[in-house]
A and B are shown apart, each in its own frame.
Chain A
Amino acid sequence: MSALLAQAEFVRPPIDWHAAAPELTLLAFGALLTMMDIGWLERGRRAAAPMASIALLATMIPILTLAADGADRSMFNGAFVVDNYSLIMKAMFVLAGYVVVLLSTNYIAEGDYWENEYYGLLLSSILGMVLMASARDLITIFVALELLSIPAYMLATWRKRDLKSNEAGLKYYLMGVFASAVMLYGMSLLYGSTGSTLLTDIGAVLDTGADPTAVVVLGIIFVVVGFAFKVSAVPFHTWAPDTYEGAPTPVTAFLSVASKAAGFVALMNILFVGLLGRDDVVEPLMWVLAAASMTVGNLVALRQTNIVRMLAYSGVAQAGYMLAPLAVIGDVPDTALGAVVTYLVIYAAMNLGAFAVVIAAARKTRSAEIGDFRGLFHYAPGLTVAMTIFLFSLAGIPPLGGWFAKFRVIEALIDANNASGVALGVVVAVNSVIALYYYARIGLGMWAEEAPDGDLSRVDVPPSLVAAIGLTAIVTIIFGLGLVVGDFTDVSLLPTGI
């Protein structure tokens, strides 16, 4: 503190309020939500979910105005950047958050959980993600990561009287903190060997190729491993199935989509802006992570009997598909980035949708066992059709969104025009077939079998869940028809921009 004061001529860096508006809006509404809790106590309960929805929709406004404005903006010497890429990711985080609020509304209210705190923490976590999309500096990235992770640890234990939920939160917390520590150490190594925390500076130093020391390699590996935990890539995925199963299902949806996407965003920021000069280290690392994640994830998913655990392992495999383009970042950086962004957005829609159906069906069956989805078609045809769309989209069957995501991944791999890219493409293709088996098996159960206990009473699906399912299903189909998705490719993190 005294050192800072001693710097007499400290000048506040100029702040572009428009660029920071999404974060500030979210922050303001989050604070308001907390105030409401303090002032109104229990009376605030019913307003919490609508308030959170309004907060997220209001955050979309500055994101849209920034997009309409179109100019790239940069603050704090380039530590905070608003460009096309970050706006797309911000919008995705906010909208995914909105769907999670829709999923949570009845679940949290009916489960007799604390509501204001729940939504407050949710908003705070989303704030961290939104910030992450713009972070181009190791410290900013770390702050954003903790801002999004710490509330998530708490959310995972929200069913506090349930042992599994406690286990979920604790595992997630310990693994997460461990990963953060490893990553922080890696960052310190990068800072130590390049002399800057700004990714552009790190990139400039590494680009010169002047300092090919082992320290840099170690730093890269540690940072990547840290994020590998976050995105649940094999072999750092072990927390995911237990945490997913134990956490409240809306939180699981949040973790598997938004939190994973945030990990990817951070990884991409670091890889593309900072470490592109060392693609000789990054590419093999990503190749192994990607191939291991999809193969192990898919093979283990085959044996699951609980649908949430199955979705957890399928999420591990999907993370593998998303990591695959990063294995060719040195050859086709822009295509690879576009592929990952496209995949993240489409994955968000289809995976949230799948969780929405799981939540809706569990309202009747009170279970997440795959066996209890049998005969769903006989008493909930609408849910069945929706689930079919999401599952086969995850499997990558045209004309549902997932095929386009996979297509972009394979395209990037083939475009790299080298043996390792093509080999990974074949791995992706073979894995899509393995994955189809467990997705299609659920589809079969829903359509072609009888309900386990012959109980054909209808499922009561509240409007917020209907909205969530409808929204995600429509988006999944629209993306699959090739509409809109093109815009997600119009992204670049290469230094030509600013």
Chain B
Amino acid sequence: MDTLDTNNWLLTALVFAPLAGALVMALIPEKEEDAQKQWAVFTSLVTLGLGIFLLVDFDYDQAGVFQYFVDTEWIEVIGAGYTMGVDGMSLPLIALTVLVMPLVFIYSWNHIPSPGNPKAFLMLMLILETGMIGTFVAQDLILFFVFFEVVLLPMFFMIAVWGGEDRRYASLKFFLYTLFGSALMLLSFLALFFLTGAETGDYTFNMLALSENAGDGIVRSTQLIVFGGMFIGFAVKVPMFPFHTWLPDAHTQAPTQGSVILAAVLLKLGTYGFIRIAIPMLPEAAEAWAPFIGLLAVIGIIYGALGCLAQSDMKRLIAFSSVAHMGFVMLGISTLTDFGINAAIFGMVAHGLITGMLFFVAGSVKDRYHTLDIARLGGMLVQAPKLGWILGFTAMASLGLPGLAGFWGEFPAILSAYNPAAGLPEETFRGYMVVAAVGTVLAAGYLLWLLQRTAMGEPSEEFVDDPEITDVSTIEWIAWTPFLVLIVVFGVAPGLIFEVTDPAVVESLRGCLETGCEAARTAAEAVGG
């Protein structure tokens, strides 16, 4: 496969700038809290600057080709390479990451959660940023795996130290679930390495080469098992029903910043893994697994929505809505079509912006009311009208109102299920489509109900004269405006993302998925025979 390697210092700089910032942060004395915050914002802005350079310099005419491609030796003995590249599939997600992080740091300016210690808190977030960007640029399975895991420790500590009442339970649960998934994923990576190597004679973890070979020559039953390992690894991270139970706990207990990062970026590591690794490398197995994945996706949509309706805690409700939204993303992916996967990537970005924003609002509500119990809240539009309107706006975006970003994640994903890839059972997917459509109704239900109970009506007695309940502060405006603007921009001009992702998605689905694996195999046999 062709690659472009001009300016290939860029990805290394982009990935390791936050880490370097974290190391420098270690030298700032503990007392200098302002300096620490300034430094964190500065580091993330430098990273954002590099990201903007990437966005500007990226050759959009060749979005299907890996650009800024680096490929050198790393751990020679196991055949792992330091391989990085960006194409249209990873670009939106990288942009999302480098954009969200500075906003989170700005928000942290006067929102360091108890028990304080901003230095450690900010350092963990910077390390997290390195892990996230690294996962999106890695083009080597081992490098991918390492970055994929690097995010675990900082997130674990963010929840465990700065989280809510039940933080110990939630953090351990998060850690154990994800590690279980990734341990099996690693087994699959190794199996793929040896099986592909035995077939082609070239033992490599290079993702381009593995996608190129696309599981050719590996026995079908083995392919199914290997895909199963990857499936568990990524599905836990997404999270898909029934692996989702860590998410509501983690989200509810995590500090606001942790929830925002988790929702905006971390969950996308799982879905990204599906479209970057699992499907292109084992398309035949993907085809076999797809109806099952689609089924779990729609169960997730309905289950998440019903879960939302049952919640009394605002943050937990938003967490369950994540399960439902990621269900739409996974439904799009499970169709294995160009259309569905494009919708999925859009859905990832939209969900990142919208749910991230919802968690910001939830965090600010918690700061003011010291509770997230929906029954006790109310009348936010009276007491803090701007905050209430932002909540309303974001809720509308989340339920998929046309004209806002959420629509373009949900609607095409549902639509794509009407016409899944050749070789997939059409009736089944059309059934999924109906169920998913019901899910959007439920989504409107729980979001409007949330809005009605928290923002409308009169303030409850206990908060009516509470002086702490103020409207949106300047810091919050700075941190939130980009989210709100982008939700509108992507809602009005979805092409901004679709045009970037499409060539790369087409490239990743090359070969057997265009025509259906069965047909591709018959054709190949006909040519060969």
Contacts and interface: CB of A to CB of B under 8 A. Distances in A.
Interface of A: 338, 392, 397-399, 403-404, 407-408, 410-411, 414-415, 417, 422, 425-426, 429-430, 432-433, 436-437, 440-441, 443-444, 447-448, 482, 485-486, 489-490
5 contacts: A433-B179, A437-B176, A444-B171, A482-B80, A490-B77
A429 B77 contact: no
Contacts of B61: none
Given A398-B145, A410-B190, A486 B75 contact: yes
B145 A433 contact: no
Contacts of A485: 75, 77
Given A408-B78, A414-B194, A440 B172 contact: yes
Contact of B161 (A398, A404, A408, A447): A447
A448 B150 contact: no
Contacts of A407: 78, 142, 186
Contacts of A392: 153
B156 interface: yes
A399 B168 contact: no
A407 B184 CA distance: 12
A482 B160 contact: no
A384 to B, nearest CB: 10
B59 interface: no
A447 B160 contact: yes
Interface in B139-180: 142, 145-146, 149-150, 152-153, 156-157, 160-161, 167-168, 171-172, 175-176, 179-180
B183 A429 contact: yes
Contacts of A441: 172
B76 interface: yes
Contacts of B171: 440, 444, 448
A80 to B, nearest CB: 28
Interface string B450-476: 000000000000000000000000000
A399 B150 contact: yes
B179 A436 contact: yes
A444 B190 contact: no
Contact of A448 (B74, B149, B167, B176): B167
B190 A414 contact: yes
A498 to B, nearest CB: 23
B180 A433 contact: yes
A432 B178 CA distance: 12
B186 A429 contact: yes
B161 to A, nearest CB: 5
Given A429-B187, A433-B176, A482 B74 contact: yes
A417 B176 CA distance: 28
B191 interface: yes
Interface in B115-152: 142, 145-146, 149-150, 152
A425 B191 CA distance: 11
A464 B193 CA distance: 44
Given A422-B191, A425-B187, A447-B161, 16 more contacts: A338-B77, A399-B150, A407-B186, A414-B187, A422-B187, A426-B184, A432-B183, A433-B179, A433-B180, A437-B176, A440-B171, A448-B160, A448-B167, A448-B168, A482-B80, A486-B75
Contacts of A410: 186-187, 190
Contacts of B176: 433, 436-437, 440
Interface in B69-92: 74-78, 80
Given A433-B183, A436-B175, A444-B168, A417 B146 contact: no
Nearest to B181: A433
A121 B186 CA distance: 44
Interface in B191-239: 191, 193-194, 198
A425 B183 CA distance: 10
Contact of A432 (B146, B161, B179, B194): B179
B190 A447 contact: no
A426 B187 contact: yes
A444 B76 CA distance: 35
A444 B172 contact: yes
A433 B191 CA distance: 20
B112 to A, nearest CB: 16
Contacts of B142: 407
A447 B77 CA distance: 36
A323 to B, nearest CB: 18
Contacts of B149: 397-399, 403
Contacts of A430: 180, 183
A263 B191 CA distance: 31
A415 B176 CA distance: 27
B77 A486 contact: yes
Contacts of B180: 430, 433
A397 B75 contact: no
Contacts of A404: 75
Contacts of A399: 146, 149-150
Contacts of B191: 414, 422
Nearest to A400: B153
Contacts of A429: 183-184, 186-187
A486 B161 CA distance: 36
10 nearest A-B pairs in the assembled complex, by CB-CB distance: A429-B183, A482-B75, A486-B77, A398-B149, A398-B146, A414-B190, A489-B77, A433-B180, A448-B160, A448-B161
Contacts of B157: 443, 447
Contacts of A433: 176, 179-180, 183
A485 B142 CA distance: 15
A482 B194 CA distance: 20
A482 B161 CA distance: 30
Contact of A411 (B78, B150, B160, B175): B78
Contacts of A417: 194, 198
Contacts of B153: 392, 397
A482 B186 CA distance: 16
Nearest to B157: A447
Contacts of B161: 447-448
**Most B CB atoms within 10 A — which of A398, A426, A430?**
A398
A437 B172 contact: yes
A425 B194 CA distance: 14
A338 B75 CA distance: 14
**Most B CB atoms within 10 A — which of A338, A425, A430?**
A425
Interface in B47-103: 74-78, 80
Nearest to A384: B120
Contact of A444 (B78, B80, B160, B186): B160
A415 B194 contact: yes
B126 to A, nearest CB: 15
Nearest to B171: A444
A397 B152 contact: yes
B27 to A, nearest CB: 14
A397 B131 CA distance: 13
A418 to B, nearest CB: 12
B76 A486 contact: yes
Nearest to A489: B77
B314 to A, nearest CB: 24
Contacts of B160: 443-444, 447-448
Contacts of A403: 146, 149
Nearest to B143: A482
A358 to B, nearest CB: 21
Given A440-B156, A448-B161, A411 B75 contact: no
Contacts of B152: 397
A470 to B, nearest CB: 14
Contacts of B168: 444, 448
A9 to B, nearest CB: 49
